[in-house]
Structure 1
Amino acid sequence: MAGRHGTEVGRADLVDLLIRAQRALVRDLGAVLEEEGFTVDQWRVLRALAAEERTMGELATALEIPHPTLTRVVDALVDSALLYRSQSEQDRRRVSVHVSPLGHTKLDRLESLAAAHEQALGGRVGVDNVTRLTDLLRTLP
C-alpha cells in the first residue's frame, strides 16, 4: 500500500496513527470522566480490579502504568474509599488491592459513561468499523 510520498506504508505509520488515535480517544474520554471527577487511569484501575484483586506489581504490569503513577492513582482511590488494600496472610510483604462496594457503584456509573462515549464514536466512524478495529487490536501483542 502506497503512503503519502509513494513509499510503502510501514510500521512507523501504523505506530504514529495508533498513538494519535489513542491520545484523541483518551482526551475525549478523559473529558467525559472528568465531569465525574475521574481520570482515565483511575477508571482503568477500577476496571482491572473489579474482576479480581491484584498486587500493585500485577496491576502495573497489566495496565502498563509506571509504578509511581499507579501508586498516586491507587492512593487517591483509597482516600476516596473506592479501593482498599489488604496484606496477604501468607506473605506480609504482599499487598493486594480490592474494589470496595462504593467503588463498584462508581465503576458502574463510569462504565455507562465510557459505553456512551464508545457509542458516540461508533456513530462518527461506524459501529462495524469500531468492532473490526477492536477485534484487530486484540490480536496485537
Structure 2
Amino acid sequence: MLGVQPPGEGHVMAGHRASRLVGGDLVDLLTRAQRALVRDLGTVLEEEGFTVDQWRVLRALAAQERSMGELAAAVEIPHPTLTRMVDALVDSALLYRSQSEEDRRRVSVHVSALGRAKLDRLESLTAAHERTLAARVGTDTVTQLTHLLRELA
C-alpha cells in the first residue's frame, strides 16, 4: 500500500516547521505520493476493469458535459490518449457523443445511464480506498492535505 512517510526533517506538515527545505523536495515528494496513490487505487479499480484515468474521465463528465478539448484540459490527458479512451468508453456504452445544436462543429461527450451506474460503483471503491488511507494517516491529515493540494492546483 501507500508508503506515506512520517513528518521529519525536510518535511512540512500543518503546524510543523521543517528544519530545512531542499530544492525539489516538494515536487519529488508529491510525485512519489501521487504515483503510490494511483498505483494503489489502480489495483482496486482494475478489479472492475477500469483504470484511474478512465474513472477520472467519467467523474469529469458526470459533473458536466464537455467537448473533447475541455475534457482534455480538465483531466490533463493528451488528446490522442484521451480520444482512444473515450472511444473505448463509447464502445462500452458508458459514454456517448452528441453534436451541439448551436455549433455543429462542437461535439460534446456525456455519461450514459450505464456509465453513471458504473461510476457509482467506482466512487464507492474509491471512497473505501480513501477511508483506508485516512485510517492509516489520520482523517485530519487527509483533510489538511486535500485543502493544501486544492490551493496548489
Residue aligning to 1:37: 49
Measured in 1, the distance between the counterparts of 2:10 and 2:146 equals 24
Give the superposition deviation at 1:65: 0.7
Hey, which of these two has a bigger chunk of helix by percent? 1
- Runs of 4+, deviation exceeding 3 Å: 1-4
2:90 maps to 1:68: no
> Taking structure 1 as reference, are residues 11 and 52 closer, same or farther at Cα in structure 2, changes over 3 Å only?
farther
1:107 maps to which of 79, 94, 119: 119
Instruction: In structure 1, list runs of 5 or more residues that go unmatched.
Output: none
2:39 maps to 1:13: no
- CA deviation string 1:84-135 (max 9, x = no partner): 0011122221110000000000000000000000000011111110111001
Give the superposition deviation at 1:8: 3.6
2:35 maps to which of 13, 19, 23: 23
Measured in 2, the distance between the counterparts of 1:82 and 1:98 equals 9
Question: Secondary structure of 1:36's match?
Answer: coil
Measured in 1, the distance between the counterparts of 2:101 and 2:108 equals 11
> Taking structure 1 as reference, are residues 11 and 135 closer, same or farther at Cα in structure 2, changes over 3 Å only?
farther
TM-score by length of 2: 0.86
Instruction: In structure 2, list runs of 5 or more residues that go unmatched.
Output: 1-7, 12-18
> Percent of aligned positions with the same letter in both sequences?
78
